[in-house]
Structure 1
């Protein structure tokens, strides 16, 4: 009979199923018991394997074991991570997500591991999925905001909000397409804006490539939202890897790109265009074939300019200008260099410049020379581009036009999009670009070497190496020639004569070099900060020493009665133990040396870099600190997680110095957890430094902060819909803000927003409402905030101080609040782990609000 063989044997199956089910249930029960026992024994790997077996045999138990399974997964992942078994770690998470694909906690945890391993795109995807499953999931939200700063850098928002820049690019692209360049390749497309300009101009086919996975996916969304899907081919690929016909069918007639940074070449525009001319673009005008078709590039050319400046802010971030800090003498012991003004001989290809928006640099700047032309590059001449990196360095002699302290050469460029349209990134322009800053090379503390006057000149050496424009080997000619000397107009003999008479800024003594970050140099230059620590630590050492002596006198008296010895004899036979001080500051810190110089103190430093340890050893020797009294704590530890453990098995710390605030203006991650552990390891009377952090803020109206944080609708992007998609990566807290130069209107006086007590945390709270009185009319767009860092009841440092190495942060409101003078705004300030969130509402009549300050 048709289908007869498929009929079930209903009388026999229950007996077989019952036996199999019983065995299955027994195995599940035994595996659950084994998993629990393994957890007791901290055998997380075996416990995880048992849970996998349980869930594969009995999926119905998912809800029952979910919490235990999560706990086991996270513990086992930590073990695998510590053993560097990265593939096994991610395999475990993949297995967990197969069982719990919609578990936001597991998704978030895997994202955290991915982020730590450097897989930022993938981490963002997991955080985003977790938030879609649970929009109010705080940890996932904070993680997504953190990774968003990496994936979509803040300059994207500034660039897209630069309507002038967008209009000029649109005009140049329209002109080129109308002239016959109807196949276009957009290199480094970002959000796809330039590609869409080309398509709207009438290009028959547009290709776009983007290396960042996040930006590629974003460009695909933007192109689709603007109804150009299928007309613009967006590819997730580096342009250097593109081939014909694999990726595009034939050579294109126009390449558009804006892969330029403040130093012009830093994003690899030369390399990408050399490759494009060879493999992707029609021949140039000089290489035109029989077909008569010509390829071209937008931008067509660039001219780089430079200028010498005096700028105290640049100086304090790139040169150590103090002879001693906190009683520690720095002069003559070791050469401390900034990361961009030290030419290493190990082939290091770090950026030779930093960047600043010179129009907003604190304290301003003074030009010491007229702007001078550094170089011109023609992007439409392939042979010129190919020879650029092979070109020998050349020198330019520039006259000084004003007396002052020579701190840096700043550079900018004019981007010639075509013969008629150009963009300038100069310091006086309203532009989305910053300027490149080449600080002068470091030297001993001899300020006269940096003093220049109008009769002087300086020589710079220009080259294009490692895809960077380098302006280095800065040298001075005192009372030398005052005419601009270019490479073509100066003989070798004249240059040798000039170089023989110049005074250089290079160090004259063979001191071992130590490379510091600019924020670390600014910290060393902060006398108030280090003197505060010296006084606070000194008070603690005196207090603990006095108590120890008092206890010693009591012990001596008791011992003398028991042993028949005099107190003087007893005291002379006892050597008091030292006090133990631990400095766990991030990066280079001399606080351990300051502590060690206070007398009976054995100081431990947590600096990790070998050159930093060497520098501290040399400074210790120069300051009379014996080798035994300065230890490097990381070399004593097998795991970083044990950083706050006891100095010895029978000793406790007298003081623990915590680094509480990041340079960016945020509280450091896991600060409260570290403080809690440190409190448990303090001897009676011991202290945590700082003991308390007080957060202050104010209401401001700042359109600049809005522009730096989100695209302001379709107008700046010339009607194209970009804002809704890139603004998903808007973060609620803007970092590295300099409130002293931020263009803004202050709508209130500073108020205390929050306080974190690290010594006595009982008074800490997770949230607080503060009512702020408005003192000027406007729109509240943001709440910038900063901290007073209290070492004790009398000594504190402010992260808003003029000599601070810290920047500030600002919480942006979801919607600006229109206010009048006399209004009150209620701020809800929440602290979760290391994150601060601030929301605001205008206080209505009858609303009591929160604490009024």
Structure 2
């Protein structure tokens, strides 16, 4: 028998253990490797930075199966330290050996905050991005590695920049799900329309939904509300990432949600005006990150050129530092300013 107790914040060691355990199963690594946009973009970016990687020492933070480390060897790296905290590191050792790269890649089991590298590094590579960019809070580990192990000046971080975007949207799938309860009577002779409000409460709640967004559902051009420079940003600044946005609606519609997504950028010394960009935009091919969808309590009707303005704040959950909260203040046209806070469900225990 279960009971509902008061949520309390998990201690950091348990947060970390739950987080790393989630990467011990093959499924998540299959999903990431199979994401061609993700994996292919990283390989392209690393190979295009071969002049900066050749004969250099590389640190791969959160190496997983070691695929990025092997891309760095393909780009000419002299030595790669592949740091991985979870048990998938055992598989990375096998994969590295299977590809005859054990003389170039050293897999180190542990967190980057606790391992001791034999030397400083010239390059840091990491695929640290979570849902809505900051979920999982792995960027903190990359910044720790940057400050402790990256040679200064001249050290390279791949990727080196991240940007966050927001746009209003009309989620037709959700509207169809809510309308479903009005169709039951015609099908079965039982009127279940009173379920509409309950269904709406369940579906359009305060959770951050991770869904693929259809381009046709997006109601404006995207607005960038934050930019993170990985060369300079601090862990303290990550405690609250925020910015303002302004969107102009395409036409008459009902805004029932916002969607949030990110891009990360890899510098390319040979063509500085043409960096490699990994985008999770709904206007680009789908990735395993999909988009973060934030459902409003009350839909807002808009017309052509209705301006929606507001501010987005992203910060760690009070229950778990690895889980992100998103607070949105917004005003549509002449309507009153509205606010809502969203979160991805936390790892919690009962007390």
Question: What TM-score range do you get, normalising by the shorter chain?
Answer: 0.7 to 0.9
The answer to whether the 8 Å contact 1:441/1:474 transfers is no
After superposition, the Cα gap between the structure-2 partners of 1:218 and 1:315, relative to the gap in structure 1 and judged at 3 Å, is: farther
401-410 vs 163-172, greater mean Cα deviation: 163-172
The answer to whether the 8 Å contact 1:438/1:471 transfers is no
- What residue in structure 1 maps to residue 31 of structure 2? 155
SS at match of 1:156: helix
The answer to whether the 8 Å contact 1:305/1:412 transfers is yes
- What residue in structure 2 maps to residue 240 of structure 1? 113
After superposition, the Cα gap between the structure-2 partners of 1:275 and 1:314, relative to the gap in structure 1 and judged at 3 Å, is: farther
- What residue in structure 2 maps to residue 197 of structure 1? 71
Is residue 2:56 matched to residue 1:176? no
Any residues of structure 2 matched to 1:644-723 within 5 Å, and which? Answer: none
- What residue in structure 2 maps to residue 78 of structure 1? none
Any residues of structure 2 matched to 1:10-409 within 5 Å, and which? Answer: 148-149=26-27, 152-159=28-35, 164-178=40-54, 182-213=56-87, 215-242=88-115, 247-283=116-152, 288=153, 294-315=154-175, 327=192, 329=194, 336-338=201-203, 341-342=205-206, 353-359=208-214, 365-381=216-232, 384-391=233-240, 393-409=242-258
SS at match of 1:406: strand
- In the alignment, structure 2 segments of 5+ residues that lack a partner are 1-17, 185-189, 317-321, 346-351
After superposition, the Cα gap between the structure-2 partners of 1:369 and 1:300, relative to the gap in structure 1 and judged at 3 Å, is: same
Any residues of structure 2 matched to 1:535-614 within 5 Å, and which? Answer: none
Structure of higher CA gyration radius: 1
In structure 1, how many angstroms separate the alpha carbons of the residues matched to 2:198 and 2:222?
A: 38
- 1:250-280 CA-partner distances (Å, limit 9, x unpaired): 2212110112134222232321122112322
In structure 2, how many angstroms separate the alpha carbons of the residues matched to 1:393 and 1:297?
A: 23
The answer to whether the 8 Å contact 1:440/1:474 transfers is no
- What residue in structure 2 maps to residue 413 of structure 1? 262
After superposition, the Cα gap between the structure-2 partners of 1:451 and 1:271, relative to the gap in structure 1 and judged at 3 Å, is: same
SS at match of 1:196: helix
After superposition, the Cα gap between the structure-2 partners of 1:395 and 1:429, relative to the gap in structure 1 and judged at 3 Å, is: closer
CA drift of 1:464 comes to: 2.9
In structure 2, how many angstroms separate the alpha carbons of the residues matched to 1:268 and 1:391?
A: 12
In structure 1, how many angstroms separate the alpha carbons of the residues matched to 2:148 and 2:339?
A: 45
CA drift of 1:218 comes to: 1.7
- TM, length-normalised to structure 2: 0.73
| Count of matched residue positions in the alignment of Structure 1 and Structure 2 | 309
- 1:726-747 CA-partner distances (Å, limit 9, x unpaired): xxxxxxxxxxxxxxxxxxxxxx
CA drift of 1:240 comes to: 2.7
- 1:550-570 CA-partner distances (Å, limit 9, x unpaired): xxxxxxxxxxxxxxxxxxxxx
After superposition, the Cα gap between the structure-2 partners of 1:464 and 1:251, relative to the gap in structure 1 and judged at 3 Å, is: farther
The answer to whether the 8 Å contact 1:188/1:259 transfers is yes
In structure 2, how many angstroms separate the alpha carbons of the residues matched to 1:302 and 1:502?
A: 32
- What residue in structure 2 maps to residue 50 of structure 1? none
The answer to whether the 8 Å contact 2:126/2:142 transfers is no
In structure 1, how many angstroms separate the alpha carbons of the residues matched to 2:75 and 2:131?
A: 29
Is residue 2:336 matched to residue 1:502? yes
CA drift of 1:333 comes to: 8.6
The answer to whether the 8 Å contact 2:61/2:142 transfers is no
Q: Alignment RMSD, CA only?
A: 3.8
For residue 442 of structure 1, the aligned residue among 284, 293, 297 is: 297
In structure 1, how many angstroms separate the alpha carbons of the residues matched to 2:72 and 2:179?
A: 50
- 1:789-842 CA-partner distances (Å, limit 9, x unpaired): xxxxxxxxxxxxxxxxxxxxxxxxxxxxxxxxxxxxxxxxxxxxxxxxxxxxxx
- What residue in structure 2 maps to residue 592 of structure 1? none
- TM, length-normalised to structure 1: 0.33
In structure 1, how many angstroms separate the alpha carbons of the residues matched to 2:226 and 2:43?
A: 26
- In the alignment, structure 1 segments of 5+ residues that lack a partner are 1-117, 125-146, 289-293, 343-351, 444-448, 481-500, 507-514, 518-853
Q: Name which structure has the greater RCO, CA cutoff 8 Å, separation 6+.
A: 2
SS at match of 2:113: helix
In structure 2, how many angstroms separate the alpha carbons of the residues matched to 1:166 and 1:333?
A: 44
The answer to whether the 8 Å contact 1:458/1:474 transfers is no
After superposition, the Cα gap between the structure-2 partners of 1:173 and 1:236, relative to the gap in structure 1 and judged at 3 Å, is: farther
After superposition, the Cα gap between the structure-2 partners of 1:408 and 1:230, relative to the gap in structure 1 and judged at 3 Å, is: same
In structure 2, how many angstroms separate the alpha carbons of the residues matched to 1:170 and 1:392?
A: 28
Query: Which structure dedicates a bigger proportion of its chain to helix?
Result: 1
Query: Which structure dedicates a bigger proportion of its chain to strand?
Result: 2
